[in-house]
Structure 1
C-alpha cells in the first residue's frame, strides 16, 4: 500500500490544479486498492491451513466457538468461518463499485450532498463489517496466528488508512475554521487542502514502508525462520 499511496499522492501534487473528477479518481485508486488488501483474510486462512472451497478445516480448530459482540449480535446471525470470509470480502466489491459511481457522477456534474452522504454511509457500513469480521477472526484464532504476527500486519494496513482518513478530517476542520486560506498561486482552499494532504501522505508512506518490512518480513518465505526455529529446538 505504501508505494501506491505515495505515487498517487505525488501525481496529485504534479497536477494540483486538476479538476474535482481528477482528484476523485486519484482517491478512488487508493481506496480500491485498500479494498483489495481487505482480502487479508485469505492470508489468515492460509496460515491456519483452512480451505473452505475444499471443505478443509484442521482438526485442532474444528468446533471453535465464534460469538458476536454487542451491538452486532442484535442484527447478525451467529458467525461461522465461512460467514466471516464473506463479511470481509463484500468490501472488495462494494468499494470499487461506489468509486466508479462517484467518478461518473463527478464527470456528469451530478453529485448532490445527499448522494455524497449515501455513498459515505454505504462505505462506512461495508468497511465496518469487514473490519469486525477480521477482529473476530483474530480474537478466536489469536494463539494459532501468533507466530505470524497478524496484528502487526493488520496495523500496517489499517494504520495507513487511519492516518489518511483523520488527516483529511483535520484539514477539513482547518479549512472550515479559516486556518487554511486561499493563495494567489491556487484558485481555492480546496486545492491547497489537497496539496497539503498529498504532501503529508508522501512523507508518512516512507515511515510505513519501513514498518511494513518488519511486519511482512521475507524470512518466512526464505527458510531462515524455519532454520532458526529448528536450531533453537535442538539447543
Structure 2
C-alpha cells in the first residue's frame, strides 16, 4: 500500500516536471520568435502608419505566453492574470481595424471617397437577409463604434471580474447564474461577436481595394489567436461544469481547467508566432539602402497609445451628431442646407486633421533625437 502511494506521488511529480519543462521551452521559443520579429520592425521602422498597429498586435503573443506560464506557476493568481491578459484582446482588435483603415487610405477623406464608390450589399451571416450601403457616410462611423465597443466592454468586464474575484463572487470555473463569471462571459461573447461581425462587414466591400496587402493572412492569424483562445476558455468551462473534467485527490476542477487551458494556449501561441512571421513579415519595410532606424524610436512610437483616446473622442462626436442632429444628413434643416457635404463627414475630417496634428507633435517630442 505504501509502495503504491509512493509510485503514485512519483508519477505526478514526473508528469509535472515534464509538463513544466515543455511549457518553459515553448514559452521561450514563442517569446524569442515574436520579440525578434517585433524588434526587426522597429529596426526598419519606415512606415509607422502600418508598423505601429502591427507591432502592437505582435506583442500579444509573448504576453499570452508569459501570462499562461505565470498562471501555471501560481494557480491561485491565475484569475487575476488571465482577466488582465484578456483585456489586451480588445486593443489588438482595435489595432487590426486601424491597420485596415491605413491600408484603405491615409486620411478619413480618402477612405470616405473609396467607400463612396461601393454598391449596396448584404450583411454577412447571420444578418445576410439585410442590406447596407458602404457608401453612406455613417457606415465608417458605425464600423469604428462596433470595434471600440469591444475595447471598452473588455476593460469594464476586466475591472468587474477583478472586483468580483476579490469579493468572492466571481468563481471562474462556474457558469452558474449565482456567480459573476457567467455574466461577464455572456457580455464578452456578445461583444466579441459584434466586433467580428463589424470587421467582416467592413472588409468585404473593400477587399479588392486592399488585395495587394496580405490582409487575409493577417486576419486569419488574428482570428486564430483571439477567437480560438476565447472559445477554448468557454469550452473548458462547459466541460468542467458538465463533469467531464472532474476533481482528483491532488487537483481541484478549477486547477485542472487552468492547467489544461494554459498548456493549450502556449501551444497555440507557438503556432501563432510562426504564422506571424509570414503574415506580418518585416522585409517589405526594409528600404533599398537597408538603412536602420534606432529601435528606441520605433518602440516609443508604438507604445504611445493616445490614438485610442483620440478615436474615442471622435466616435463620441459621431454619436452626438448622429443622435441629436439627425434631422437631415447634414445635421441641419433641409430647407436651410447649403453644403453638399454631410455634417458628420466635415466634422470627422476636421477632427481627424486636428488629432493627427496633435499626435504627430506628441510623437515627435517623444522620439526626437
Do the two structures share a fold, i.e. TM-score over 0.5? Answer: yes
Give the aligned partner of residue 132 of structure 1. Answer: 197
2:154 paired residue among 82, 95, 115: 95
CA deviation profile, 1:169-197 (whole Å, cap 9, x unmatched) = 443354345443433433x1210111111
CA deviation after TM superposition for structure 1 residue 14, in Å: 0.7
| CA displacement at 1:75 relative to structure 2 | 9.3
In structure 2, the partner of 1:205 is: 269
Checking the alignment, whether the CA contact within 8 Å between 1:66 and 1:80 is kept in structure 2 is no
Tell me what 1:230 maps to: none
Cα distance in 1 for residues equivalent to 2:119 and 2:210: 16
Q: Residue 7 of structure 1 corresponds to which residue in structure 2?
A: 66
1:15-53, Cα deviation, whole Å (9 max, x unpaired): 12x1xxx3322221221111001111111111111523x
Larger CA deviation: 112-121 vs 40-49: 112-121
1:43 maps to what in 2? 99
8 Å contact from structure 1 (residues 84, 134) kept in 2 = yes
What does 1:64-83 correspond to in 2, within 5 Å?
64-65=118-119, 67-69=121-123, 72=127, 80-83=139-142
**Which aligned runs of 4 or more in structure 1 are off by greater than 6 angstroms?**
73-77
Is 1:28–2:93 an aligned residue pair?
no
State the structure with more CA Rg. Answer: 2
Distance change (3 Å), C-alpha of 1:81 and 1:184? same
TM-score w.r.t. structure 1 length? 0.80
Structure 1 gaps of 5+ residues are 225-235
User: What is the distance in 1 between the residues matched to 2:196 and 2:121?
Assistant: 15
Residue number among 171, 192, 199 corresponding to 2:256 in the alignment: 192
Q: Whose RCO is larger (CA < 8 A, sep 6+)?
A: 1
The question of whether the paired residues in 1 share the 8 Å contact of 2:121 and 2:132 is answered with: no
Which residue does the alignment assign to 1:233? none
The CA distance in 2 between the partners of 1:107 and 1:121, in whole Å, is 20
SS of residue in 2 equivalent to 1:33: helix
Unaligned runs of 5+ in 2: 1-59, 171-175, 289-369
- Tell me, what secondary structure is at the counterpart of 1:57? helix
* 1:178-189 mapped onto 2 (5 Å cutoff): 178-186=243-251, 188-189=252-253
TM-score normalised per structure 2: 0.53
